Amino acid sequence: MSEDAVRFLPYDEAVRLVAAIQEEEDLDDPDHRILTVYSHQDKELCWYDFDEVMRDAGIRQNDPAAKEKVTDYIMHHLPDWVLES
């Protein structure tokens, strides 16, 4: 594993840390969506590209389980550096 490889928090730790995942407008590009992850103290932990998460999580348009799939994907892919911020 290279030094630049992203390490993810264990799922259980991510679940305890994350309070909300909010779909938002990218402030730099109004035609782009992001998913911002917040802690229980309303602190922004990190954000994800909306389209990349939908693709990587295998979510199709009008998927009734989309919310659960997004949450599960992010909880498994929360970088360990969020603990430093």
Is there a domain that residue 2 lies in?
no
Is there a domain that residue 40 lies in?
yes
Is there a domain that residue 54 lies in?
yes
Is there a domain that residue 5 lies in?
no
Distance CA 85, CA 70 (A): 23
pLDDT tens figures, 37-83: 999 999 999 999 999 999 999 999 888 999 999 999 999 999 999 99
Q: What is the pLDDT of residue 29?
A: 87
Q: What is the pLDDT of residue 28?
A: 86
Banded model confidence at residue 30, pLDDT cuts 50, 70, 90: confident
DSSP output for 16-47: HHEEEEEEEEETTEEEEEEEEEEETTS-EEEE
Distance CA 22, CA 74 (A): 12
Q: Are 40 and 52 in contact (CB under 8 A)?
A: no
Is there a domain that residue 73 lies in?
yes
Whole-prediction pTM: 0.88
Q: What are phi and psi of 44, to 5 degrees?
A: -70, 120
Q: Which domain holds residue 32?
A: 11-83
